[in-house]
Structure 1
Amino acid sequence: MREIPAELTERYAAEGWWTGETVGDLLTRGLAAAPDTEFRVHSAVRPWAGTFRDVEAVARRLAGGLRERGVGPGDAVAFQLPNWMEAAAVFWASALLGAAVVPIVHFYGRKEVGYILDAVRPRVFVTAERFGRLEFRPDVCADVPVVGVVGRDFDALLGDEPLTQPLPADPAAPALIAFTSGTTRDPKGVVHSHRTLGHETRQLAASYPPDRGRQLTAAPVGHFIGMVNAFLIPVLDGTPVHLTDVWDPAGALRLMRDLQLHIGGGAPYYVTSLLDHPDFTAEHLRYLRYAGLGGSSVPAAVTTRLAGLGIQVFRAYGSTEHPSITSSRHDAPEPKRLFTDGTALPGVEIRLAEDGEILSRGPDLCLGYTDPALTARAFDEDGWYRTGDLGELDEDGYLTITGRKADLIIRGGENISALEVEEVLLAMPGVAEAAVVAAPDARLGEHAAGFLRMLPGHPLPGLDAMRVHFERAGLARQKWPEELHEVAEFPRTASGKVQKFRLRQDIAVGT
């Protein structure tokens, strides 16, 4: 792990950002305060309904059973589960044991799961026998001492005696190893401590609108933000948990209407897929009061569209490594909310390097990676994290993401921001989503290639129509896409980001 400067450690403790509380302590206190709070899973294959008390009982028996098997502080507990009750039980049990929980996105395949298990060497692995692309493979986890499969032998892990109190653990020790979403080929294991994860939970909870309503969580709990929103913030706030294990816009719209559940945002795709669905009506807008957007690029075309419907939009910026770097308050001036990614959150510092790269540090910044070489490249000795993102700061301290260093197209020596080109493509009639990547060019090295998901009934525009549109937009000609491809659905990460490396692969093989 990286060495955190003593000055930062002292400051975060003095300002109250870091406390002596472990995640197990946070959960114990929150669950005791609101034991009868509703907990429901909306699923076609494994629905469940109960209360915090019911889930806690399973978690404490699981913790007791794992403790009997020698699991405790310093160990790793991995799980690969959909948004099911058992995922909460495993997460809470791990926290009570003082172990580091390792959530794995449920649609990762054998290669990714094997890579993660080999990287962290967990004492425990809990998974499902089958769900969508998830299929239990005993050979993948053959070296894990304790394995449980939900629906088959998970209950055998439960002890007769529940663990009544969280085991003592060092608040500076690892509490979570979260693997990045996969926009790079191999996921990176990001290590968070009890202090960084606890601060992130408190900070994120404080930033949400107080009247946001009963939230539906569709983001996978194997991903950082889905996990925090499902298993930590509701316990801290005493608010109901409603999970769904697949993202189905039609099903989400039914739950919004029938159970008065709200959608609070996330990656723009989650919100726009609701608005574009034929079942969407004006009645649903009452359950879309706010849209906190982040997790991927947030086009201005999307924020202005939502604002035009009366939705209070605000943007946020962060990553698995540094979850909450900037955000606009939900009541900030509209131009700031719609067109910037907000200001630095309490305790967080940001600055721009000479090339525009965003550098950040703060009390929710991770300890580093499971790979020491990655840690050495990403952090400097003063505690600054090199985000790899490019940005601009305005006179009021509001940050706007302008691109990613690895998401630049270099055409004949000219740097082209993929985000800038995507914004123009999104303004074309009938375009639901756009992604731009670098395509090889024999003459210029690279050129821009656009991938479009079209709205129903709208054909892919031709290159001539696209050029007319870009001419009207006034974008320099060297930035115009030189090829367009249509996709029915984009390949995505758990947080909803488009996996651009797969689009580049498609170009390379001519598909």
Structure 2
Amino acid sequence: MRKIPAELTERYAAEGWWTEETVGDLLTRGLAAAPDTEFRVHSAARPWEGTFRDVEAVARRLAGGLRERGVGPGDAVAFQLPNWMEAAAVFWASALLGAAVVPIVHFYGRKEVGYILDTVRPRVFVTAERFGRLEFRPDLCADVPVVGVVGRDFDALLGDEPLTESLPADPTAPALIAFTSGTTRDPKGVVHSHRTLGHETRQLAASYPPDRGRQLTAAPVGHFIGMVNAFLIPVLDGTPVHLTDVWDPAGALRLMREHQLHIGGGAPYYVTSLLDHPDFTAEHLRYLRYAGLGGSSVPAAVTTRLAGLGIRVFRAYGSTEHPSITSSRHDAPEPKRLFTDGTALPGVEIRLAEDGEILSRGPDLCLGYTDPALTARAFDEDGWYRTGDLGALDEDGYLTITGRKADLIIRGGENISALEVEEVLLAMPGVAEAAVVAAPDARLGEHAAGFLRMLPGHPLPGLDAMRAHFERAGLARQKWPEELHQVAEFPRTASGKVQKFRLRQDIAVGT
């Protein structure tokens, strides 16, 4: 793990950012305070409804059963499940045991799951027999001592005697190992302690609007932000949990209307896919009161569109490694909310390197990666994390993300920001989403290639129409895309980010 300077450790403890409370302690306290809070899964495959008390009963019996099998503090418990009740039970049980939970996104395939299990060597693996692309493969977990499959033998893991209290654990020890594919090929194992995860939960909960309504969580609970929003913040706040195991805009719109559920934001795709759906009506706007956007780049074209509909937009910036770096408050001045990614959150520090790369550190910054080489490259001895993102700070300390170092297109020696080009493409009629990547160029090394998802009934614009649009926008000619491709859907990470390396691969093979 990375070296954390003693000065930072002392400061975070003195300021109350880091406490001696474990995640198990947080859950025990929160569940006892609001046991009758609603917990519901909206699913065609495995619907469920009950209360926190009901889920806690399963979690404590599971913890008791795993304890009988020798699982305890310091062990790893992995699960690959959709947004089902059993995912909450496994997560809560792991925390009560003081184990490190390893959530795996339910649509990860054989290669990713095999890599994660081989890296972590968990004592326990819980999964589903089949769901979408998820398929139980006994060969992948042949070396895992305890395996449970929901719908088949999961109940056999439940002990007769529930674990009544959370087991003592070191708050500095790993509580979570979250694997994120990001925009790279191999998943990266990000390690968070009880202290970093606890601070993130409290900080994120405090940043949400108090009148945000009953939230629908569609982000996969196998991903960091979906997990925190589904299984930790509601327990801290005593607010209902409503999960859905697939992202279907039509289904989400129906749930919003039938159950008065709100969509609070996330990656822009989650919100725009609702607005673009033919079933969307003005009635749904009452359940889109706020849109806290993050998880991927947030185009100004999206924020201004939402604001024009009366939705109060605010942006945030973070990653699995450092979940909450900056955010605009929901009551900040509109230009700051719409066009910047906010200011540093309490306890967090940011600065820009000479090349514009954002460096951050704070009490919710992870301990490092499961791969020591990645840890050595990403963190320095003073506790700063090299985010790989490029940004600019205004006179009020508001940060604006300008791109990723990996997203720079170097055309004839000149740097082009993919984000800048994407903003212009999004302003074209009929364009729902845009992504720009570097394409090989025999003369100039690289040039910009645009990928567009069009709204229904709108054809892909021709290059001449695109050039005329960029001419009117006033963008320098060398930044204009030199090829356009249409996609029905973008390849995405669990948080909704477009996997640009796959778009570059498509160009390389000529598809």
TM superposition score normalised by structure 2: 1.00
Deviations 1:287-339 (A, max 9, x none): 00000000000000000000000000000000000000000000000000000
Q: Is the 8 A contact 2:67 2:97 kept in 1?
A: yes
Q: Does 1:253 align with 2:253?
A: yes
Q: Distance in 1 between matches of 2:87 and 2:421?
A: 40
Q: Is the 8 A contact 1:181 1:495 kept in 2?
A: no
Equivalent in the alignment of 1:211: 211
CA-CA distance at 1:180 after TM superposition: 1.2
Q: Is the 8 A contact 1:107 1:133 kept in 2?
A: yes
CA-CA distance at 1:183 after TM superposition: 1.2
Deviations 1:24-67 (A, max 9, x none): 00000000000000000000010000000000000000000000
CA-CA distance at 1:260 after TM superposition: 0.4
Q: Is the 8 A contact 2:124 2:146 kept in 1?
A: yes
Instruction: Show the 5 A alignment for 1:63-212.
Output: 63-212=63-212
Q: Is the 8 A contact 1:177 1:190 kept in 2?
A: yes
CA-CA distance at 1:219 after TM superposition: 0.2
Deviations 1:194-218 (A, max 9, x none): 0000000000000000000000000
Deviations 1:448-497 (A, max 9, x none): 00000000000000000000000000001110000000000001110000
CA-CA distance at 1:138 after TM superposition: 0.4
Q: Distance in 1 between matches of 2:144 and 2:249?
A: 37
Q: Is the 8 A contact 1:341 1:401 kept in 2?
A: yes
In structure 2, list runs of 5 or more residues that go unmatched.
none
- Aligned-partner SS, 1:140: helix
Q: Distance in 1 between matches of 2:484 and 2:255?
A: 36
Q: Distance in 2 between matches of 1:415 and 1:108?
A: 34
Equivalent in the alignment of 2:54: 54
Q: Is the 8 A contact 1:212 1:264 kept in 2?
A: yes
Equivalent in the alignment of 1:239: 239
- Aligned-partner SS, 1:46: coil
Q: Distance in 1 between matches of 2:459 and 2:272?
A: 19
Give the paired residue count.
511
CA-CA distance at 1:3 after TM superposition: 1.4
Deviations 1:202-237 (A, max 9, x none): 000000000000000000000000000000000000
Q: Is the 8 A contact 2:407 2:418 kept in 1?
A: yes
Q: Is the 8 A contact 2:293 2:314 kept in 1?
A: yes
Q: Distance in 1 between matches of 2:424 and 2:181?
A: 26
Deviations 1:113-145 (A, max 9, x none): 000001110000000000000000000111111
CA-CA distance at 1:150 after TM superposition: 0.3
Deviations 1:253-307 (A, max 9, x none): 0011111000000000000000000000000000000000000000000000000
Q: Distance in 2 between matches of 1:257 and 1:166?
A: 39
Q: Distance in 1 between matches of 2:14 and 2:167?
A: 25
- Aligned-partner SS, 2:386: strand
Q: Is the 8 A contact 1:176 1:192 kept in 2?
A: yes
Q: Distance in 2 between matches of 1:417 and 1:182?
A: 19
In structure 1, list runs of 5 or more residues that go unmatched.
none
Q: Is the 8 A contact 1:422 1:434 kept in 2?
A: yes
Q: Distance in 1 between matches of 2:92 and 2:206?
A: 22
Q: Distance in 2 between matches of 1:69 and 1:339?
A: 53
- Aligned-partner SS, 1:19: coil
Q: Is the 8 A contact 1:181 1:223 kept in 2?
A: no
Q: Is the 8 A contact 1:410 1:446 kept in 2?
A: yes
Q: Is the 8 A contact 2:182 2:497 kept in 1?
A: no
- Aligned-partner SS, 2:141: coil
- Aligned-partner SS, 1:220: coil
Equivalent in the alignment of 1:2: 2
TM superposition score normalised by structure 1: 1.00
Q: Is the 8 A contact 2:388 2:406 kept in 1?
A: yes
Q: Is the 8 A contact 2:103 2:221 kept in 1?
A: yes
Q: Is the 8 A contact 1:171 1:194 kept in 2?
A: yes
Percent identity over the alignment? 97
Q: Is the 8 A contact 1:179 1:189 kept in 2?
A: yes
Q: Distance in 2 between matches of 1:181 and 1:95?
A: 24
Q: Is the 8 A contact 1:327 1:344 kept in 2?
A: yes
Between stretches 232-241 and 178-187, larger displacement belongs to 178-187
Equivalent in the alignment of 1:372: 372
Q: Is the 8 A contact 1:189 1:371 kept in 2?
A: yes
Q: Distance in 2 between matches of 1:383 and 1:166?
A: 31
- Aligned-partner SS, 2:169: coil
CA-CA distance at 1:181 after TM superposition: 3.2
CA-CA distance at 1:182 after TM superposition: 3.5
- Aligned-partner SS, 1:139: helix
- Aligned-partner SS, 1:159: coil
